[in-house]
Amino acid sequence: MTRPAVFLDRDGTLMEDLGYLGDPDKAVLFPETIPALRRLGDRFVLFIVTNQSGVAKGLIRHDDAHRVNERVRATLADAGVLIRDVYCCPHQKSDACPCRKPSPHFGRLAQSAHGLDLGNSFVVGDHPADVEFAANLGARGIYVLTGHGHKHRDEVSVACSVVSGIAAAVDEILCAGPA
């Protein structure tokens, strides 16, 4: 049996976007992140999918990005929120790699590894690439206005919901639910 998923962007969606973050101690979730994600319960399989171009640019090390991702994952786990996997693209846009959002690469990997129903899944993020990732997966995109959301809202070129932040995104997910 396949299950629906929620693919979550990290910076600007679950926590403040502090630029090229390499220090796990600075990874602080938005106050509403944990209560919002807890509301999803076990109805969805949760993933983080994050573009971390600072690695390719030499601004942070791959290990630093990994440590930040693991801190976020551990903080959520300690609060009862299971992130099944974290997918991190360390490339910059000009590298034209196959894993950088909006490519559906990591979503397809997750589908294969975890038996996901992408048609009933969601992607939540604060960049146009996040909701384009959703469209490329056949999932539903939810664009949040936190992080870079306000700045890039006019660049969104695919159909998606637009909400204030992660709590409103979870409201939207729970209202829509799996079809």
Query: Catalytic: which of 11, 64, 117, 130?
Result: 11
Q: What is the mean pLDDT of residues 63-67?
A: 93
Is-catalytic flag, 17?
A: no
Identify the pLDDT of residue 60: 85
Query: For residues 6 and 47, is the Cβ–Cβ distance under 8 A?
Result: yes
How do residues 109-128 score in pLDDT, each as one tens digit? 999 999 999 999 999 999 99
Q: What is the mean pLDDT of residues 58-71?
A: 91
pTM equals: 0.96
Domains of the chain: 5-176 (3.40.50.1000)
Average pLDDT, the chain: 94
Helices H / strands E in the chain, number of each: 6, 6
Long-range contacts of 159-166 (CB under 8 A, 24+ apart): 159/135, 160/131, 160/134, 160/135, 165/30, 165/32, 166/13, 166/14, 166/30, 166/32, 166/33, 166/36, 166/37, 166/124
Band of residue 93 on the pLDDT scale cut at 50, 70, 90: confident
Query: Catalytic: which of 9, 64, 126, 130?
Result: 9
Query: For residues 91 and 99, is the Cβ–Cβ distance under 8 A?
Result: yes
Is-catalytic flag, 9?
A: yes
